[in-house]
Structure 1
């Protein structure tokens, strides 16, 4: 098995929205804001090469929407999904499976692209199966008012129309030991209904793709949950469960949204679970 970080692009989000009730004087230490109160955000995906399967976890924002839309997110840097795949020696058509942690636009937007004439949409990975779970699919296709702006129909419905949509069975206790894709999954409901956190056994380590359960290094303390979470108290409980397990088993936490820190481990302290070490992807995903 080989693992490759895939940088699909960088953007910015409001620091207050990303840290909810936590005061700026605190979160600004780990996630410094610019003059517009925006903090740096990554869309770092993960590619798993395992035998004949090439599995891409999340696909970033994509580039379908208008300049006005992307103007809200202050895109920066030179990363793109296609460029990053090419740098690792792959092409979209090589991907056999696309696993979406959840269907918010910054996690699944690259799954669907314009057709050649820009008259409609088509899936961006023509040879891949697309994976979500039935509970989350129903949640995303019948969105509540809070999340409606994050669940964009053009990112979601073409996947079903393509016939390439597949569902992963949920786990009753939150942890699925092994999915159809060969890795474990933690199901979390605080950020959105049935977000899926992949847990990959790799060279004697467990690599956990943290998605929005732990967006950045600055979100480690339990009360530090985003203003985007639909059930913040549940997010705190789920994060508590997961981080305790991460300490006990020395998990390596792959940070999708931290533009400046890629992989971390955590440890117990007198203040609770806190940062232990920071690693680059090159150091861990050799």
Structure 2
């Protein structure tokens, strides 16, 4: 498990957390890009899987603690954990404890989207029933994403697990937004459709310093080239247009990028050269 990493961004304190690793099919992660190309960037295992990180981001904004993403769902049991190469426990909660942060101190959770590997710790089992893991938090999500998670279609239903969504919806814990919205001063969400129709990215902007949490718009540093779009994306041509739009914004604005699934340190800076868009790692 990757250790906690810290960075100051203007008035924000950022802790780059880890909820462990997940192993997914390499071909699916790179879509139409042939293995002869992507295997030069990452090495698959004997099952053709590649290692991905799970990288929630903890933000201190004044007196408030904001958690971006809640990690992966381990509630389905041993077979599920074995399929994805998961450990039994949630390292995210252990890392929060190391920082002295109790779940009830999180006042806001922001979801890029509600797939099981991004919203898995929305709920936990307590005495045989599902309860909110972060009992005082509001959960920010795009309206489209919540609707799709509660009513998935045949292609998307394997990625959404109702036990991570329905209990919070029934308790009125989701706060839906439609389109771009400022959640707190200097912290905003922007629609980023493609992986799902309702996906969003999170931007931080303080004292001239900027960071974008990319969700699954671009999950790994090596996926930054425009056409390196996973087969998991429901609307790949929409992903392409969204990437073009947001890459231009992030490059012009000098944004740092935090990748949701980078297995190593997840911070990079976007650059554009003769071969198109690339990402260069940034030291902590």
Tell me the distance in 2 between the aligned counterparts of 1:125 and 1:182.
23
Tell me the distance in 1 between the aligned counterparts of 2:269 and 2:88.
27
Which moved further from structure 2: 147-156 or 161-170?
161-170
Is the Cα–Cα contact under 8 Å of residues 124 and 133 in structure 2 kept in the other structure? yes
Structure 1 residues 39 and 114, CA gap change in structure 2 (3 angstroms)? same
Q: How does 1:183-262 map to 2 (within 5 A)?
A: 183-262=187-266
Which moved further from structure 2: 77-86 or 18-27?
77-86
Deviations 1:94-152 (A, max 9, x none): 1001111100000001111002x12x211101111111121111111111111101111
Structure 1 residues 221 and 255, CA gap change in structure 2 (3 angstroms)? same
Tell me the distance in 2 between the aligned counterparts of 1:78 and 1:126.
20
Of the three residues 57, 72, 75, the one matched with 2:83 is: 72
Q: How does 1:267-282 map to 2 (within 5 A)?
A: 267-275=271-279, 277-280=280-283
For the aligned residues, what is the CA RMSD? 1.7
Structure 1 residues 28 and 79, CA gap change in structure 2 (3 angstroms)? farther
**1:156 partnered with 2:160:** no
TM-score normalised according to structure 1 size: 0.90
Which residue of the partner structure matches residue 95 of structure 2? 84
Structure 1 residues 39 and 181, CA gap change in structure 2 (3 angstroms)? farther
Which residue of the partner structure matches residue 175 of structure 2? 166
- Consecutive unaligned residues of structure 2, counting only runs of 5 or more, are 1-11
- Consecutive unaligned residues of structure 1, counting only runs of 5 or more, are none
Which moved further from structure 2: 34-43 or 179-188?
179-188
**3-state SS of the aligned residue for 2:57?**
strand
1:88 Cα deviation (Å)?
2.0
Tell me the distance in 1 between the aligned counterparts of 2:179 and 2:278.
29
Is the Cα–Cα contact under 8 Å of residues 11 and 76 in structure 1 kept in the other structure? no
Structure 1 residues 78 and 161, CA gap change in structure 2 (3 angstroms)? closer
